[in-house]
Structure 1
Amino acid sequence: MADATTHIVRAALRPKLYRDIEIPSDRSLYDLAEAIVRAYAFDLDHAFGFFPKLTGHIYDAKPRYELFADMGEGGDSLSVRKTTVVQAFPKVGTAMIFLFDYGDEWRFRVEVLALGEREPRKRYPRVVASVGKAPPQYPDPDEDFDEED
């Protein structure tokens, strides 16, 4: 729906570990990736992509949107900088895997929960709900992170 001015998306690592983010619909997928990474207190220091295939070998998904496309190395991937949120996520219920860091493979399930309207004097993107404790981006190999937290 192209006339909605904001998208409210859930970026979940697990069912009880997620962040709901409201972002203007006309912002880029790069901006959405940055908002997700920031919501989990990660650094945006790795390549990433959005894949519409939610399970299995997600790299076969089409269309897929990858930072590599913006760097001239994406093959048949589409740009994350030129693709808007509303183009990639056109309606409520649309979901993709946001893969951050191809080495560590942080996989966030991103789904559109609702469409909204921009409010004056609000800063976007913004976290509107936060459930669960975010894991460290670079866990100490000598410590176990309790995945149920």
Structure 2
Amino acid sequence: MIYKLRVILDNEEDIFRDIAIESSDSLEDLHNALVNAFGFDGNEVASFYTCDDNWNQEDEIPLFDTGDVAGEMRIMSDFSIEDLLYEKQTKIIYVYDFLNMWTFLVELAAIEEKQVGVTYPELLFSHGLMPIGENNINFEADDDNLFSEFDDDLDEDDLDMFDGDDSFEDYGFEENWN
């Protein structure tokens, strides 16, 4: 079967892609299709997340095994798309590049028969351009006075706690502990 997916960038502007992909393809295949559809270079880490109907993130499915014990964690190549998406479960979340946190909402729009002569995955429709450079997440404070409580007359005495008459015993350990 062919899954038609709408993949929406979680951003203020409308940016989305419609993709047709075989339901038996792996999540890694879907990851590669999304990298190509949105114009990424493919050099960053990514994960899919299961979610509920309200897009609340649940279980992570990473591109690579990042667990403490090798082989213990299931990764994208271990899941087919139909393992996670079907008629009653139509949503997953995709995050690409954990520094910029490109977050995409992936929704199953239709399930259709495979068409003869069509190569899948296929980009069906593209709307909007990806923002240039970093994601448009603003990590700055709204209040200009946020750091004012930390402003003081910082001087050299503040930077070296062991200068002067203070001894290491005042801090609960000895100077030559080893």
TM-score range for the pair, normalised by the shorter chain length: 0.7 to 0.9
Q: Give the aligned partner of residue 28 of structure 1.
A: 26
SS in 2 for 1:123: coil
Contact 2:46 2:94 in 1 (8 A): yes
**CA shift at 1:65, angstroms?**
1.1
- How is 1:67-86 mapped onto 2 (pairs within 5 angstroms)? 67-69=63-65, 73-74=66-67, 77-86=73-82
Greater RCO between the two (CA within 8 Å, min separation 6)? 1
Q: 1:93 to 1:16 in 2, by over 3 A?
A: farther
1:47 equivalent in alignment to 2:48: no
Structure index of larger Rg: 2
Q: 1:117 to 1:74 in 2, by over 3 A?
A: farther
Structure 1 unaligned segments of length 5 or more: list them. Answer: 140-149
**What is the rounded CA distance, in whole Å, between the counterparts of 2:108 and 2:82 in structure 1?**
10
Q: Give the aligned partner of residue 95 of structure 1.
A: 91
Structure 2 unaligned segments of length 5 or more: list them. Answer: 135-178
**CA shift at 1:77, angstroms?**
4.9
Contact 2:50 2:84 in 1 (8 A): no
Question: Residue type of the partner of 2:120?
Answer: Y
RMSD: 2.3
Q: 1:66 to 1:117 in 2, by over 3 A?
A: same
TM-score where L is the length of structure 1: 0.76
TM-score where L is the length of structure 2: 0.64
Question: Residue type of the partner of 1:52?
Answer: T
1:12-63 deviation per Cα after TM superposition (whole angstroms, max 9, x unaligned)? 11472100000001000001011111011111111111112334xx4xx22x
> Among 104, 108, 113, which residue is 1:108 paired with?
104
Q: 1:130 to 1:93 in 2, by over 3 A?
A: farther
